[in-house]
Amino acid sequence: MTKDLVSITDLDRDEFMRLLKKAVQLKDDRKAGRGKPLLKGKILAMIFEKPSLRTRVTFQTGIYDLGGMGIYLAPSDIQVGKRETVADVATNLSRWVHGIMARTFAHSTVTGLALNASVPVINGLSDLEHPCQILADFQTIYEKKSTLEGIKLAYLGDGNNVSHSLLLASGIMGMDMRMAFPKGYEPNLEIVGKAESLASSSNGSILLTNDPKEAVDGVDVIYTDVWASMGQKDEAEERRRVFASYQVNEELVAKADNDFIFMHCLPAIRGEEVTSGVIDGPHSVVFGEAENRLHAQKALMVALMGEG
């Protein structure tokens, strides 16, 4: 394993699958009451520049489950890059803790922490990628579909951090990913190029389209996210207008495979990017997906912070 997880591309295909299988094992162990303190005495520093429900609770619960402890560092506590340089924060924390998780705005903050820290750094979310979310997502798909290779996944919405990590992970794992978005809201072109290169080596494929119906035709998985992320709330009204035809609703999902699953990284706005009938319907796996944040991140922490 690499020292850090800054991008989902820090994992190769075999490492990715090992993590997912470990996550499934840790999930089973927890539910059977046979969890082990695999990170006994280890301390995880958790840097938050953005508020969070899932990231904070799953990392803090996860390190506790594994016998360690998490230290929550709020924006007012640390102010990375303002009160103190990224390099100095990384160097200081490396003297005290065994791992760093950072949920930041700028991706450069996470890369700077990883560059300067002597302990593992985990990207809990940045403006470019959300690798921990995608580990949980792919664990969920693996549990529901028993494979990742050849799975058809459609993502509808903004070209944001979640979509970037989905594109890259699909390329790594040989999936057929279709992404539909309005003109002007496309994903990062460098990310797309990297995903296409990965897909060419894994028998996967990447399709970008402005047609949501083309994207969902016959797919196994439909995925969406909020139309206006944190920091974009002033654009919310305009985005509601632009993204209206990309709503995941009953009419659209009828074009997917009969056994499709619906995914969302949450939080969701019912009636905007997805109807209540879909997110609360029989094909939705969003809460199991959210639960898997805990198990996937535990597997990741064991791999990065364990004794080998």
Q: Which of 103, 107, 164, 239 is catalytic?
A: 103
* Three-class DSSP category at 68: coil
Q: What is the chain's pLDDT, residue by residue, as a tens digit (308 residues)?
A: 889 999 999 999 999 999 999 999 999 999 999 999 999 999 999 999 988 999 999 999 999 999 999 999 998 888 787 789 999 999 999 999 999 999 999 999 999 999 999 999 999 999 999 999 999 999 999 999 999 999 999 999 999 999 999 999 999 999 999 999 999 999 999 999 999 999 999 999 999 999 999 999 999 999 999 998 866 778 899 999 999 999 999 999 999 999 999 999 999 999 999 999 999 999 999 999 999 999 999 999 999 999 75
Specify whether 295 is catalytic.
no
Helix axes of 286-305 and 13-31: crossing angle, nearest 10 degrees: 110
Q: Could you write out the DSSP letters of every residue in 193-237?
A: HHHHHHHHHHT-EEEEES-HHHHHTT-SEEEE--SS-TT-GGGHH
Q: Which of 107, 164, 178, 293 is catalytic?
A: 293
Specify whether 34 is catalytic.
no
Q: Containing H/E element for 133? A: helix 131-145
- For residues 168 and 173, what is the distance between their CA atoms, to the nearest angstrom? 9
pLDDT at 82: 78
Q: Which of 54, 56, 60, 133 is catalytic?
A: 133
Domains in the chain, ordered, with CATH? 8-130+292-305 (3.40.50.1370), 133-289 (3.40.50.1370)
Which residue spans within 32-129 are E strands per DSSP? 43-48, 69-73, 99-103, 121-125
Specify whether 293 is catalytic.
yes
**φ, ψ for residue 295 (rounded to 5)?**
-75, -40
Nearest to 306 by CA among 8, 18, 47: 18
Please give the single-letter amino acid code of residue 218. Answer: G
Helix axes of 286-305 and 54-65: crossing angle, nearest 10 degrees: 50
Specify whether 103 is catalytic.
yes
pLDDT at 187: 98
Q: 0.95 cut: is pTM over it?
A: yes
What is the distance of C-alpha 87 from the center of its chain? 25
Q: Which of 56, 107, 265, 295 is catalytic?
A: 265
Q: Which of 107, 139, 225, 295 is catalytic?
A: 225
